[in-house]
Amino acid sequence: MKGLSAKQQRIIDFVRGFILDNGYPPTVRDIQSGCGFSSTSVVDYHLKVLAREGYIRRHPEVSRGIELLTRPSASSLVPVPIIGSIAAGEPIPVPTPDSWDIAAGAEILEVSADLTRGREGVYALRVKGWSMVDALINDGDLVLMQYVNVVENGEMAAVWLKAEKEVTLKKVYLESGRIRLQPANRQMRPIYTEPDNIEIQGRVIAVIRRLV
C-alpha cells in the first residue's frame, strides 16, 4: 500500500461520505459528478488503482459494487492488555498465555480496531524513561507491540542487544550479512551489529501518546 494521489484520496472520501449519507455506495457517474471528473472512464481508471492498492474492493458487473475495505462497520474497539513497561537496560516483558485473558487483572487499553487490523498477539507496553527518544518515543508513551520473532526489512522492532544488554526500538535492515538499526529520528545515526547479537522481541505496531 503506497500513498494515494490527491484525487484518489478524494474519491475515497467521497465514497465514504456518500455511503454515510445514503446508505448505499455511489455509481461511477455519482463519483464523476461528485468529484468533478469529466468522464466515467477516468473514475474507472482510479477505481482500478484503488482496488489494486487494496483500499477498496470492486465487484465486477455489479452496480454500485464498491466496497470500502476500511469499513466503519468493521471498526470496533479491541482490548489490548498492558503487560508491563519498557525501559533501558532490561528486556521487555514477553506475553504469557494468561496475558490474553482479559479478566486476569491486567490493565486494558482499548484501541480502535483499525490500529491492530485484526492482528493476533497484540499487547501494549508503557515506556519508562527517556531512553527511546531516538525512536521519538517519550516517557509515558504506550507502545503497541505484536509478538513476533522475525520482522521484514524496514519494520520497527523491539530489539534486544545481547552484548550491550539493552533493548531498543529501531527499524531493522539486513544488509549484506550485518544488521543496520535505524532510529526513527532521521537526525540520529544508525548503529550496526552482527545478526547473532540481536534478538527480535516484537514488532512495533503503533505508538500512542496521551497528553491531557
* Catalytic sites, residue numbers: 131, 170
In sequence order, the 6+-apart residues with CB closer than 8 A to the CB of 70 are 55, 114
Exposure of 44 in the CB half-sphere (CA atoms within 13 A): 7
Burial of 34 (0-12, 13-18, 19+ CB in 10 A): middle
> Which residue from 9, 62, 69, 162 is in contact with DNA, where contact means CB under 7 A?
62
Give the C-alpha separation, 195 to 15, whole Å. Answer: 47
- Interface with a second copy, residue 161, by CB under 8 A: no
> Which residue from 9, 22, 29, 98 is in contact with DNA, where contact means CB under 7 A?
29
- Interface with DNA, residue 64, by CB under 7 A: yes
- Interface with DNA, residue 10, by CB under 7 A: no
CB of 3 to DNA, least distance (A): 11
- Interface with a second copy, residue 189, by CB under 8 A: no
CB of 8 to DNA, least distance (A): 8
Q: Are strands 178-182 and 166-175 parallel, antiparallel or unpaired?
A: antiparallel
Angle of the 40-52 helix axis to the 6-22 helix axis, nearest 10 = 100
Residue 46 binding result from DNA, a second copy, none, given CB thresholds of 5 to 8 Å by partner type? DNA
CB of 31 to DNA, least distance (A): 8
What is the rounded radius of gyration, in angstroms, for the C-alpha atoms of the chain? 22
The stretch among 45-53, 84-92, 103-111, 159-167 that binds a second copy (CB under 8 A) is 103-111
The size of the interface with DNA (CB under 7 A), counted in residues, is 23
Residue 110 neighbours by CB distance under 10 Å: 10
Give the C-alpha separation, 106 to 79, whole Å. Answer: 11
Strand, coil or helix: what is 111? strand
User: Which positions lie near DNA, rule CB under 7 A?
Assistant: 5, 7, 27-30, 37-42, 44-46, 49, 58, 60-65
User: Which positions lie near a second copy, rule CB under 8 A?
Assistant: 9-10, 12-14, 16-17, 20-25, 27, 57, 59, 62-68, 71-73, 75-77, 79, 102-108, 110-112, 114-115, 117, 130, 133, 136-138, 146, 155-156, 184-187, 203-212
